[in-house]
Amino acid sequence: MSKAKEKKAHSDAKMHKSTAKDKRKKFWIKHNLKKKSEKTAAPKKNQEKPQPPQEAQQISANWKSLQQILKTSQPEKKHQNGVVTKKNQENAFKNSSTNSAAPSQRDPGKTGKQKIVPVVSKEAGVKLKLPAASVSQRSAAPKRKKDSEIPNREQTAKKMKKKNISLVEERKPTEEDLWFDNVDPDDIEETMGAEAAEIMRKKQGIRKQSKDKESSLVKEKAFDGLTRVVAIDCEMVGVSPDGEDSILARVSLVNQFGKCIYDKYVKPTEEVTDYRTAVSGIRPEDIKDGEDIQTVQREVANILQGRIVVGHAIHNDLKILLLDHPKKKIRDTQKYKPFRKIAKSGRPSLKVLCKEVLNIKVQQGEHSSVQDAQATMRLYTLVKKQWEAEIKAGKKNKDSEEKKKRKPR
């Protein structure tokens, strides 16, 4: 019995030793595992959480890391129709990321809970709840100001013009304001307005220029036949080697009201070397099939016979036509003394007289014998009474002087 007890006690002692050893081993194994886990866990604790990117370049660089964080944070969910795969989650995240701005570009002053927007996956038809972009988020690029916010320069300029116009309208110009002289009324009209130009015209004794030259030179609904007074003008071309000598190319006559009663091109009798188109307005096709010079001379002579003939430097026109006319029946606007005083020239041009007396611009480009004859007639009719009265007074003086000479002493 004693031997059996001893064996049993010896076996119990061995078992006790083995259990103690096992316990120690388990303890140290657990202890080592804890240390390893602490070592691995320690850097995770000390490691800072990934901060949101501050620049646009960091967004693209940290894109993969952001995707991995979201993959690990979102557990897989089952659905009746099937299982939600990671690919579905990635597609849903991409769709949501396009509508959301970068976290660094959010307004720091406005913080709040993000709205959860359900996103439907195209592949599995599953709704995923993802954070929606907040209302206060800004886009990657700064938004431009609306067109309504930007002041329109044209609109402001128009407003300023209206204000200036209203100020001018309130205070009308007077003669005291227009103290200066020798200024073209047309220039004043452009700068100061129509009222100021009208005052200057009255001051200078000039009538307002008509927009339509023909309407100002021709009397509308007037008699278009022959009258007691006619005006004549001719155009010439060059025929000498140098083009200095002239021959007749066109003849035009108008009646007292400015109506054209005769206008014909003349066929040249010599070779034309200079058509003088810039001044005469004559071209080769105009005079190629013109009238014979003898026919034109006869017709013009018949019209002028017994009538008062008005012209500007009319001796040149009669000379080229090889015609003569009584001096007492000629009215030359170039030689009329009041016109010379106005133009301040001994031989004023028709262009200058029309500008100074009629306030009409003629001969701006190619000349027209019809228009020149109309302008000459208009100058004459403007001073007709005064001119004819002076001629009559001159005749009386001459007659009285002749009578005195005839009386015997």
Which pLDDT value is given to residue 36? Answer: 76
pLDDT digits (tens, 9 = 90+) for 245-303: 999 999 999 999 999 999 999 999 999 999 999 889 999 999 999 999 999 999 999 99
Residue 62, pLDDT score: 65
pLDDT of residue 361: 86
Q: How does DSSP classify residue 274? A: B
Residue type, 312: H
Return the pLDDT at 372. 94
Which DSSP symbol is given to 27?
A: H
**Rounded to whole angstroms, how far apart are CA atoms 377 and 232?**
9
SS3 assignment, position 36: helix
137-165 per-position pLDDT tens digit: 444 455 555 554 445 666 777 667 665 55
Alpha helices in 305-353 (DSSP H): 314-321, 337-343, 350-353
pLDDT for the residue 113: 46
pLDDT at 75: 57
Residue 188 gets the label, from left (phi > 0), alpha (psi -120 to 50) or beta, of alpha
Across the 409 residues of the chain, what is the mean pLDDT of every consecutive 10-residue run? 61 64 81 76 53 62 72 58 50 52 44 47 45 46 50 67 54 69 69 74 62 66 91 95 92 95 95 92 92 96 96 95 95 94 92 90 88 94 94 81 66
Tell me the H-state helices in 221-283. 277-280
Q: How confident is the model at residue 317, as a pLDDT?
A: 96
Q: Are 290 and 312 in contact (CB under 8 A)?
A: no
3-state secondary structure at position 23: helix
d(CA 223, CA 258): 9
Q: State the pLDDT at residue 109.
A: 43
Asked if residues 88 and 125 have their Cβ atoms less than 8 Å apart, the reply is no
Backbone angles phi, psi at 126, to 5 degrees: -105, 140
In angstroms and rounded to an integer, the radius of gyration of the C-alpha atoms of the chain is 56
pLDDT at site 106: 45
216 burial level (CB within 10 Å; 0-12, 13-18, 19+): buried
